[in-house]
Structure 1
Amino acid sequence: MTQRFSSPYRTTRRSPRGSASRTRPRDPARRVAYDVLYAVQTRDAYANLLLPVLLRERGITGRDAGLATELTYGTLRLQGSYDAVLDACVDRSLRSVDTEVLPLLRMGAHQLLSMDVPPHAAVSSTVDLARRIVGHHRARFVNAVLRKVTARDLTGWLSVLAPDRKTDPVGHLAITHSHPRWVVQAFAEALGDETSSGLKETERLLTAHNERPRVTLLAKPGRATVTDLVDEGAVAARYSPYGAVLPEGDPGMLRLVRQGRAVVQDEASQLVALALSRVPVSGPDQQWLDMCAGPGGKAALMAGLVGERGGRLLAAEVQPARAGLVARAVHRSLGNSARVIVADSTQPPWRDGIFDRVLVDAPCTGLGALRRRPESRWRRTPENLAELVPLQRALLNRALDAVRPGGVVGYVTCSPHLAETRGVVTDVLAGRDDADLLNAARHLPEVPDVAADRFVQFWPHRHGTDAMFLALLRKR
C-alpha cells in the first residue's frame, strides 16, 4: 500500500549532520529520517527510541512528523528489497557505497518504489538533501542511481531479482518480503510450514512484519482501567482485560500515560504475564519474582496483580539504566507492592526456594518484534544464538532453583526461534527431575490458535501481536 505525502521545500541555512539547526532546516522530515537511518546504521541506534526524541527536539509535528515516520520505518522494513534493487543500479557493489550515502539511496528508493511521491519529486528532494549532507559530487552519484531505479516499479524489480519461488521459496520470500534468508528459514521451521506448500503461512507472517503495528496500552491494575483508556479515545484490546489500542496519535499525550497509570505494552506481553498469574498454586501466593525485568512493562502488570493479592514483587535487572526504567514503570504500584534491585539473576542475591511465582523474560534475538523494531532483522545473525541460548538455559535453571515446591515458573521470549523457545525448555527439563511442563494454553482460554504442543506461541499474522513465546513449569 502506498502512502501519500507532499514534498516540502523550505529555505534555511545548512545544519551539520546529526544535529538540529538553530533555524528550521529545509525539508525537515527527510532530514530527521536521514539522521535516524544514519544512526541506526553506524551506531546501532534504535529507531523507536531515537525518532521521537529528534521529532520533539526539532519541533516537527503534523504532516512532517508523519512523513518522517513513514520514511524511517518504511525504509527499514523494506531495506533488504531496496538493497537488492540498488545493487543492480550501481556500477560497483553496494557494500562499497559510503556509509553517509547509503541511507540517502535507501530513502530515495522507498519514495520511488513504495510511496505515492512523484518520481521527479522523490529524486530531486533526495538529491537536494544529499547536496547538503554529502556534497555536490556524491549527490550526482545519488541522482544517477535513483534515476536508474525509476526504470521499474517494485513489483517489476522483484520479478527480475528474486529467486524462483518454486525452486527456492526461502530465497524468494527473503528478497520479496525483505528479511534475511536465515530468519525466513527459522520462521518456517517454527510455524511447521512445509516448503512443498510454498511457505504460504510464512509469507503471511512476513507480510505482517512489514505492516505498521498498532499502539497497545496497558492499564496498570489498581491504578487505571480499560474504561479509563477508552474515555481518552482508545479501544478495548482484543484479548487482554488490561489492554487497549490507540487508533492514532501519540500515546505520550494521554493523561493516564503522563501520570504513569498506563504504559505502552504489546498485548502478548500482557497475556504471558497474566497466564503466569492464573496458574493455581497451593499454599501462599505472596512472593513473586521478575528475573529480567527491564524495561518494566511486565513488572508493572505483575506488581499490580500481586498487590491485589496482598503480596509483593521483586524485580531484578542487571543493567542499572534499565533498572531505573523498571523503577519508574512500577512507581506507586498498588500498595507499593514492588521492589526493584540491580542484580545478575544468573548469580542471584536471593535464597533458593522462596518465591511462589517466577517470570523469566529472557534476553533473546527479538525476532518476535520485527514489526516494531524492523532494524533488528538486519542486526541479528545465527551467531547470536550461540551467545544467547546458554544464557537463556542458565536463567531458566536459576528460576527453577528460586521457586518453591508447588510454585510456578514462566519462561518467556520475544522470539519464535525454536532454539530460543522449546529448545531451551526441553534441554533444561532433560537435566532436572524436579519440574513438570504445564499446558500453557489452558491458562489463556480467550486466545484461539495459540497452543504449540504444551507451549504458547503468539504470532503477528494470527493474533495481531508480537511473536511472544511462553512455557509454564511447576516445581515438584
Structure 2
Amino acid sequence: MSDRSPRNRAPQRRPDRVRGVAYQVIRQVTAEGGYANLALNKALREQRLSGRDAAFCTELVHGTLRWQGTYDAFLARSVSRPLADLDPELLDLLRLGTHQLLRMRVDSYAAVSEMVTLTRAEIGQKRSGLVNAVLRKISQRTLTQWIDTVAPSAVEDRLGHLAIAKAHPRWVIEAFAQALGEEPAATPPGRGGVEPASGQDRLPEESGGLEGLLDADNEAPRVTLVARPGVSDVDELVAAGATAGRWSPYAAVLEGGGDPGRIDAVASGRAGVQDEGSQLVAVALATAEIESADASWLDLCAGPGGKSGLLAALVNQRDGQLTAVEPLKHRAELVRSNLRAIPGEHKVLIGDGTKPTWPAGSFDRVLADVPCSGLGALRRRPEARWRRTPEDVAELRPLQEDLLDSAITSARPGGVVAYVTCSPHPDETRAVVDAVLAKRDDAKLEDARPLFPGVPDLGDGPDVQLWPHLHGTDAMYLALIRRT
C-alpha cells in the first residue's frame, strides 16, 4: 500500500538515524535519571554505530547535555511562553537543535530541517512548526552573540556572566572559585565581553584559574587506562595502541578514543579504564611510609571498584590482602569483576562502612573514597552539573564525616588513611577532614604532596587537589591522615 494520499503526495522523509539515537539517549538522561556515558555506550552498541557516526552521536549527546543550562537561557528568549510550560520531549529537541546550530559544524538549514523531521517522527507534526520557528530564531545569532544578548556584563557580574558563557550553574562556579582561592567578584582589569568558545585566546594569567577550569570541564576527556601491576604493564597497553600516561606509572591513554574493551588486557580485567587522578590517589596511599606490618589494606567505599583493582594489585606485591566494602549488592559485583584477574584471597564485603564488622585498628592502610557530588568529574558526566544542587552537598556531609571517622578507627596506630573525593567543593574536602580531626586526638594530617612525585601545582598542602586544567585529570582531592 502506498503511503501517499490526496493531501500528502510526497512520502514523509525519514529522520536521521544518528540524531534519533542521540535524542533517545538524551531523553533517558533527562526524563529517567540515566547516566549519559552508560546510556550512550549501550545505544552505540545496540545500534551498531561506529566511526564517524559514533563520534557525531557522542558529540550530540554530551554537548547538548553539557550546555543545557546555557541553551535554556537562549531558548527562553526565543519561545513565547515559559520553558517550564513546554513538554520535556519538545524542550530536549530544541536543545539538541540549538547545539547543532551554535557549537557544531552543521549547516544551519540542514540542522533545522533534520530537527523538524525528527520532531515529526518523535512527537508529531503539530510541534514541528514551533521547532522550525524557534530554531530559525536561534540560527540568527552566533554563540558569542547569544551570550552577549543573554548573559550579564562580565564587569558587573563576573560569575553570572561565566554561568552563561561557560555553561556551569552559578553555585558550582562559586565553589570552584573558593577552592581555587580566587575572589569570586574579581574581574581581570580591562576585561569584558565574551571569551571565545574554544578558550584559546585567554590571557596567560587566566589559563590556570577559574576560567581555565571551566573550559577544561567543557572539553571531552581522554580515555585513560590503568595497567594493574603484576598482571599487566604499560608496555602491553602501548603495544595495543595506547600512549604512556603523564603522571601515573600505571597509566596509558587511548588518544583516538575507541572501545577499550578491544584491548585484551582490559577485556580480561588485567587492566581497566581509570582516570589518572584516581590512579594517583591510590598510589599515594600505597606509597605513604609506615612502619612494621603492611599486609592488610581496606577500601571502605569500594564500588564500582576501579581503585580496588589497583590497590589489590599493589598489595599483592607485598604478599598482602585487600578488603573491599560496598553497601549495594550490584556495585559489590562490579568490585568483584575488577578484582577477577588479580591473584590473592581478596575480600569483597557487602556492608555499611560506617558500621564496621571488624575490630578497630585492623588495617595498615585505609582508603575512604567517600560518596560525593562528583563535581570533579564534570568532563565525564555532562549531565551532573545540572542535576546536582547545593542541597546534595549538604546532605552528603554527615555521611562523609562518618565514613572518615570509621576509616580512622579502622586503621592501626601508625597506619594511614587516605580521605578522597572526586570533588573540589570545599565543603566536601578540607572542611570534612577538619571537622573529623577536631573530634579526635588520635589522628593527624600529614603532607601528602611528596606522594605525587613530578606532579606540579599541588598548592600549599598538606592536602592535595588535582585539577582538570592543571593536571588533565579529574578534580580529585586527597588528605593523608595518620593514626597516632
TM, length-normalised to structure 1:
0.93
Is 1:265–2:254 an aligned residue pair?
no
Unaligned 5+ segments in structure 1 are: 1-11, 13-24
CA contact (8 A) 1:130 1:142 kept: yes
Q: 2:319: which partner in 1?
A: 310
**Structure 1: which amino acid aligns with 2:451?**
H
Of 451, 464, 479, 1:471 maps to 479
CA contact (8 A) 2:463 2:480 kept: yes
How far residue 231 of structure 1 moved from its aligned partner, in angstroms, is 0.2
How far residue 96 of structure 1 moved from its aligned partner, in angstroms, is 1.4
How far residue 222 of structure 1 moved from its aligned partner, in angstroms, is 0.8
**Structure 2: which amino acid aligns with 1:414?**
C
Is 1:84–2:81 an aligned residue pair?
no
How far residue 61 of structure 1 moved from its aligned partner, in angstroms, is 1.8
Q: 1:252: which partner in 2?
A: 261
Of 143, 150, 154, 2:143 maps to 154
CA contact (8 A) 2:297 2:366 kept: yes
CA contact (8 A) 2:416 2:480 kept: yes
2 CA distance for matches of 1:440 and 1:198?
Answer: 33
How far residue 173 of structure 1 moved from its aligned partner, in angstroms, is 0.4
SS at match of 1:164: coil
Moved more, 448-457 or 207-216: 448-457
How far residue 139 of structure 1 moved from its aligned partner, in angstroms, is 1.5
Q: 2:47: which partner in 1?
A: 58
- 1:310-329 mapped onto 2 (5 Å cutoff): 310-329=319-338
Q: 1:415: which partner in 2?
A: 423
Q: 2:10: which partner in 1?
A: none
2 CA distance for matches of 1:354 and 1:259?
Answer: 32
Of 9, 34, 39, 2:28 maps to 39
How far residue 167 of structure 1 moved from its aligned partner, in angstroms, is 1.1
Q: 2:201: which partner in 1?
A: none
How far residue 62 of structure 1 moved from its aligned partner, in angstroms, is 2.0
CA contact (8 A) 1:306 1:337 kept: no
1 CA distance for matches of 2:341 and 2:26?
Answer: 37
* CA root-mean-square deviation: 1.2
2 CA distance for matches of 1:144 and 1:366?
Answer: 37
Of 57, 73, 91, 1:68 maps to 57
2 CA distance for matches of 1:138 and 1:344?
Answer: 49
Q: 2:93: which partner in 1?
A: 104
**Structure 2: which amino acid aligns with 1:405?**
P
Show CA shifts across 1:383-405 (max 9, x none). Answer: 11221011000000000110000
**Structure 2: which amino acid aligns with 1:365?**
S
Is 1:436–2:436 an aligned residue pair?
no
2 CA distance for matches of 1:394 and 1:39?
Answer: 34
2 CA distance for matches of 1:129 and 1:64?
Answer: 17
Of 251, 265, 274, 2:283 maps to 274
Q: 2:11: which partner in 1?
A: none
Show CA shifts across 1:292-321 (max 9, x none). Answer: 001110000000000000000000001110
2 CA distance for matches of 1:243 and 1:117?
Answer: 36
2 CA distance for matches of 1:451 and 1:284?
Answer: 32
How far residue 194 of structure 1 moved from its aligned partner, in angstroms, is 2.0
**Structure 1: which amino acid aligns with 2:406?**
R
2 CA distance for matches of 1:95 and 1:181?
Answer: 20
Show CA shifts across 1:231-267 (max 9, x none). Answer: 0010000000000010112212112111111110000
How far residue 28 of structure 1 moved from its aligned partner, in angstroms, is 1.7
How far residue 461 of structure 1 moved from its aligned partner, in angstroms, is 0.2
How far residue 185 of structure 1 moved from its aligned partner, in angstroms, is 0.4
1 CA distance for matches of 2:214 and 2:346?
Answer: 38
Show CA shifts across 1:31-67 (max 9, x none). Answer: 1110111111111100101111111111222221111
| Gap change, CA 1:337 and 1:268, over 3 Å in 2 | farther
2 CA distance for matches of 1:93 and 1:350?
Answer: 56
CA contact (8 A) 2:336 2:348 kept: yes
Moved more, 114-123 or 187-196: 187-196
2 CA distance for matches of 1:164 and 1:196?
Answer: 12
2 CA distance for matches of 1:154 and 1:325?
Answer: 42
SS at match of 1:407: strand
CA contact (8 A) 2:315 2:321 kept: yes
Of 198, 219, 223, 2:187 maps to 198
2 CA distance for matches of 1:471 and 1:98?
Answer: 46
How far residue 141 of structure 1 moved from its aligned partner, in angstroms, is 1.2
SS at match of 2:482: strand
TM, length-normalised to structure 2:
0.92
Q: 1:336: which partner in 2?
A: 344
